[in-house]
Amino acid sequence: MPRFYRQVATPGLLLLIPVLLGTAACQRTERGAAATPAAVAPRPPAPPASPAPQARAAAPLVVFLGDSLTAGLGLPADQTYPALLARALSADGLAVRVINAGVSGDTSAGGLRRLRWLLAQHPAVVVVGLGGNDALRGQPVGEIDRNLRAIVAQARQAGAQVLLLGMQIPPNYGPDYTAAFAAIYPRVARDLQVPLVPFLLAGVGGISELNQADGIHPTAAGQVKVAANVKPYLEDLLRQSRRAAG
């Protein structure tokens, strides 16, 4: 299905926001309920960027490949955790450009299908936050595992480093499936030797005041916590890249 992206410049970052048109995926949230208009409507443009174009071009590009947790369902673009990370990293002297390639309802297979175009943008780092929707739909654990491995392999072949975001699902999906799903991420990270954020929603999942009314998607305050969960791992990768570049 066609996906169109909008580039949104904000101070210290470049956002490439996916807009889904007339697909089944954008008509459903992770629990299968009808999506709110925010799930499919284009985001309003952010304020113009202040850094010079030359400075933006020199900054490493970080692609966030994910689902609605990354897209920031129900929130403005500048309140998503990729945007928050770009500002926080810039404040720490690690200016980056960001492509927020989060798509509401996306799966590991969907992320794999749209990866080639994103890799053509020559990212330094690909942050992979996929698999939650697969699990909510009861997809086989082995299939999710294979898709994540393929994403890592293709990103590396393109010269990008990979940061994997661990996911978990509620226990009502059964103890065996819940445990098998959670085990995918540390196994892939160990086998492929990629850094892993143990659980993207640590300190957010299940806390009502940090989640929107659906109980799944973080509020603006929840996104701040999510960004804090990811930041040390991404910062470490970027510093490694800087040292390797000399």
Show which residues are catalytic: 68, 214, 217
Reported residue count of the chain is 246
* CA distances (Å), origin 9, targets 19, 29, 179, 211: 16, 27, 40, 27
Are 8 and 47 a contacting pair, CB within 8 Å? no
Q: How far is CA 91 from the centre of its chain?
A: 21
Distance CA 154, CA 9 (A): 27
- Residue 37 and residue 30 in contact, taking contact as beta carbons nearer than 8 Å: no
